[in-house]
A and B are shown apart, each in its own frame.
Chain A
Amino acid sequence: MHNKTLAELSKGLASGDFSSSELTKHYIGRIKQLDPTFNSFISVTEEQALAQATAADSRIASGNTTPLTGIPIAHKDIFCTAGVKTSCGSKMLDNFIPPYDATVVEKFNQSGVVSLGKTNMDEFAMGSSNESSFYGIVKNPWSLNCVPGGSSGGSAAAVAAQLAPASTGTDTGGSIRQPAALCGITGLKPTYGRVSRYGMIAFASSLDQAGPMTRTAEDAAMMLNIMAGVDEKDSTSMDQPTPDYTEQLNNDLTGLRIGIPKEYFGEGLTPAIEQAVQSAIKEYQSLGAIVKEISLPNTALAVPCYYIIAPSEASANLSRFDGVRYGYRCEDPEDLLDLYTRTREEGFGDEVKRRILIGTYALSAGFYDAYYKKAQQIRRLIKNDFVAAFEDVDVIMGPTVPNTAFEIGEKSNDPVSMYLEDIYTIPTNLAGLPGMSIPAGIIEGKPAGLQLIGNYFDEGRLLNVAHKFQQATDWHLQTPASQIKRVER
């Protein structure tokens, strides 16, 4: 059963091949058996999952269903879940049980989707390797000595290892797409404002966006159908039409204009990745697409710009973790200052502290203009690059990440090289555009990702373009089967 896509599981449930309870038990069993090796889950909510599955089975029996009713998925532990610990990968929230659901979680619950549990992640979504989690590193199912990417590393590993058929993720600078690329799955970061951020613990509010992590583009479309839409609890969510994303999947690609930004093929890109991307582009040409080189001249400024804006916002967003109302509190504080200082010193990990310090510095009197304000101006330039490019092309393509999964520990003492992992993904967050990563090759046993970038609210086209590729190729069907088998033994 765990080989099936959401679309296949949906059919199986509808035709009574198996029940939601059977399916849920099967996945819970796999998690129990295999996850001690991968460590992709922080919490497994077996009891709740089985209760949800029973309820879903009655819904199916009564015909009151949505396409995903009864299908179990996993949620990144950044989404608040009522009554279930939501840690955000941090010691700071190790004891935090929210009294409310994130809007995304609420929507899945209402659709009758079963939640298997909460997936591991970099602490407060800050990282590209899942090594900053308080709950330990996550292993890449393709290569156990490699990282799964981050920050949605647990979600990506769980889907790749088939411990869940799909998962939610969040992406601030590449946190859905980079782990999707490193784990050989499909990941979509929608347009900023497409999916509600309510109940999703904030890292950098102007960049954070939730999206699906699945095995196929079709599955991503099914997930996005539930996730997308304006939310009165999030005033930055946008009131834009929410089409049925599965309807456009098979649109013909003849005449599709693909832009290839030359800046995405410069120094630092592994030749084998470049080759994989070029083959994918050839595949698109054979599907009728027209390819043209474009320029996004401010690309090189994206990483430094991001590492001012994201930490600045984070430095304020994380101020609420002060030991006063919830979460970790240091023992026996002497006074208020001691309470604040030790709570945050003991509750946050190094990467989080590093980013709070960077952000606090960038916003300080006397530095604001040189850093934060300048970064905002650069952000506008980067956005303008894309706006200009989309006058001539329908979709932009390039690598998701410069390399395949790297070894655990390889970059953990070199923050800058870690930050460069997101060199191709960050610009879309700064511009607020939708981006996707789909499997496009396997290099020395490890997956390579192709990135697709779409125009604002053009997720339908992105999914269509991704789906047609997946109809023509089988990279997305590759699984780390031999690895998983080894773990099973």
Chain B
Amino acid sequence: MEWETVIGLEVHVQLATKSKIFSGSSTAFGAEPNTQANAVDLAMPGTLPVPNEQALRYAIMFGLAIDAEINQRSIFDRKNYFYPDSPKGYQTTQMDEPIVGPGIVEVQMPNGDSKSIRIHHAHLEEDAGKSLHEDFHGSTGIDLNRAGTPLIEIVSEPDMRTSEEAVEFAKKLHAIVTSLGISDGHMSQGSMRFDVNVSVRPKGQGEYGTRTETKNLNSFKFMEEAIALEVERQIDVLEDGGSIYQETRLYNGETKVARSMRSKEEANDYRYFPCPDLLPIIIDSPYIEAIRSSLPELPDTRRSRFVDKYRLSSYDASILSSDKSTAEYFETVFNVCKDAKLAANWVMGELTAKLNSESLSIHESPISADNLGKLIERIIDHTISGKIAKQVFESIWNGEGNADVVIEAKGLKQVSDSSELESMVEDVMSKNPDQVANYHNADDVKRKKMIGFFVGQIMKVSKGQANPGMVNKILMQKLKD
């Protein structure tokens, strides 16, 4: 039987506010445990939440970016459950009246197709703290630094049919939130986390199969793997005559194994009700319109601008515009070197390969966009060749200074002095009289191939630093004589 997969996503995005959603504590990542948790975050008796307006603005920005309805009245609810990293014993979230209503996200597939994914809603909520199981023998440590970090949870409709679509959708959300500047998008720090709802049904069947939810996937790769594994499991169960049960599952990206966490029967009754410590959020149209008019450029707009302005192919443009950091990096490189094609090739080629091999994101690149631009400039002005440039790139990456410093220190400057080049050419010719004679006896087609030999010899003598264009010219001249 042929099966069709149905996927819906719930995506948690950490908002890049300076302080928490209901307290003044910092949200900066990586501080010592519990140094960014004040009385409110610790849920000390009598403390009260005060909403962070920036978090609200960020949520509205997301809503506007996906053409969603912004609800002029929204409500914070309490979701009740006991867990040590949830200090109040409830999470403050939004249930029936979220800030962002239905919207649409357009996704470009690698084969050029595009697909619309409907967003059911997006709501504001607070993150939980962290339980630390490793460092405490027989006990669990609690770090509440993250407790109260603002999140938006984006809930899609079950509109995806393959794991590729799910990944492209997730990447598009990443591009949107980073372009808006409402999230740093640092996946490795948990700034974006995915819950995937997966079901399968016989192809052509109208109603959905029973779905499972795999929670808390923190990379595109893990998400893709988890979906693939779950689809395979569900099809196996169904083809063996079994049934799928609604359950929550966990996927371990290290061991590549998934397991059931709890069944529907064991599911908590969260006893949602409106939080009486927070008044309904009421916003008016002028407030929304002011935010709309200050929205930064969105990925789709940027992609077409890259095509128009830089004459990039649609494929190159979509890669370079996908996230804000990459786009900004590319544009800075271009502004320095003024050659879009070279800038695009270096960013997508050498730089991306190097970043990937060291698992760094572009904002962590040891080579600044400015320095890469300068390096390319040196190619364009013939200070160095493209080949030497790769060597210089390595040196800059390793912290040996910018392009000019490296070129100077290592003496990599291209030799463009014509008298110096002439003597090199003459030297090579005099050492290879047979080849010179052969050249003179050959026809044009053969001659062209033989030129390569002389150029190779000259580059060898010059350690690659001879200006290849000038070498060619001088060589042709000398060989003609």
Contacts and interface: CB of A to CB of B under 8 A. Distances in A.
Given A205-B276, A235-B278, A316-B80, A364 B271 contact: yes
Contact of A235 (B44, B48, B273): B48
Interface residues of B, number: 29
Chain A contact residues, majority secondary structure: loop
Contact residues on A (Cβ < 8 Å of other chain), bracket: 35 or more
A88 B49 CA distance: 20
Contacts of B140: 336
Given A100-B39, A235-B279, A325-B42, A320 B48 contact: no
B88 A319 contact: yes
A236 B48 CA distance: 9
A93 interface: yes
Contacts of A322: 82, 84, 89
Interface string B277-317: 11100000000000000000000000000000000000000
13 contacts: A86-B45, A88-B45, A98-B46, A99-B39, A99-B44, A199-B47, A202-B46, A235-B50, A235-B278, A315-B80, A322-B89, A324-B84, A368-B273
B49 to A, nearest CB: 7
B45 A236 contact: no
B276 A235 contact: no
B46 A102 contact: yes
Nearest to A337: B82
Given A204-B276, A316-B80, A372-B273, A197 B48 contact: yes
B48 A319 contact: no
Interface of A: 79-80, 86, 88, 93, 96, 98-100, 102, 197-202, 204-206, 232-236, 312-313, 315-316, 319-322, 324-326, 336, 340, 360, 363-365, 368, 372
A233 B277 CA distance: 11
A86 B47 CA distance: 13
A20 to B, nearest CB: 28
Contacts of B88: 316, 319-320
Contacts of A325: 42-44, 87
B132 to A, nearest CB: 14
B269 interface: yes
B46 A80 contact: yes
A126 to B, nearest CB: 15
B51 interface: yes
Contact of A324 (B46, B87, B271): B87
A320 B87 CA distance: 6
B142 interface: yes
The 10 closest A-B pairs by CB, nearest first: A319-B89, A206-B276, A205-B276, A363-B271, A199-B46, A320-B43, A201-B45, A201-B46, A80-B46, A365-B269
Interface string B55-93: 000000000000000000000001010101001111000
A312 B273 contact: yes
Given A98-B44, A326-B44, A316 B273 contact: yes
Given A235-B49, A235-B51, A316-B78, A363 B90 contact: no
Contacts of B279: 235-236
B350 to A, nearest CB: 51
B171 to A, nearest CB: 36
Q: Which of B45, B90, B142 has the most CB of A within 10 A?
A: B45
A363 B276 contact: no
Given A86-B45, A198-B46, A326-B44, 16 more contacts: A206-B276, A235-B48, A235-B50, A235-B278, A236-B48, A315-B271, A319-B80, A320-B45, A320-B88, A324-B87, A325-B42, A325-B43, A326-B45, A363-B272, A364-B269, A368-B273
A2 B143 CA distance: 51
B90 A319 contact: yes
